[in-house]
Amino acid sequence: MLAADWGVKWRGLAVNGQYFFRWLNNFRADGPIPISSTFDHGFETVVSQFVVPRKWELYGRTSFVFGQFGNSYEYAPGFKWYPVNNHGVWLVAEGLRIVKSPTTGVIGPYNSGFTGWSPMLQLMFNF
């Protein structure tokens, strides 16, 4: 996997992104598999702005994955509230729209192939 990250911040406005390329091959399996390798690539972008400095942040994010098994994407508007001054605790609320999720995860609402809305409310702790 190869990825490139970038970001810029200015007066409470932040724009961040990542582009990745992933090649998978040399599979080991108990039986025959229909492919010998696969390649996918994609990106994510987040734009955020503090509307109350260090306390309330509005954001929008999106990501796309392009590969031989189809394309997928997501987008989400949301906000973050930082109740303590050191940003070690924050509350996140967003309306997440997923189209053909390429993955399954335990932290987020991702199941392979899922398409739909997933409103989320998370209390996060940074250790």
H or E element that contains 88 = none
Q: pLDDT (tens digit, 9 = 90+) per residue, 28-52?
A: 999 999 999 999 999 999 999 999 9
Residue of 112, 82, 84 lying closest to 98 (CA atoms):
112
- Write down the pLDDT at residue 6: 97
* 121 found inside a domain: yes
How high does pLDDT run on average in the chain?
A: 93
1, part of any domain: no
Number of domains the chain contains:
1
Assigned domain for 22 exists? no
pLDDT at residue 117, rounded to an integer: 94
Which pLDDT does position 90 carry in this prediction? 95
Flag whether 18 is in a domain: no
pLDDT interval class at 106 (50, 70, 90):
confident
| Backbone Cα Rg of the chain | 18
Average pLDDT for 99-103 = 88
Q: What is the pLDDT of residue 85?
A: 86
Confirm whether 71 is domain-assigned: yes
d(CA 101, CA 58) in angstroms, rounded, equals 24
59: domain range?
A: 44-125
Is residue 20 one of the residues assigned to a domain? no
pLDDT score of 105: 79
Q: What is the pTM of this model?
A: 0.82
Residue 101 lies in a domain: yes
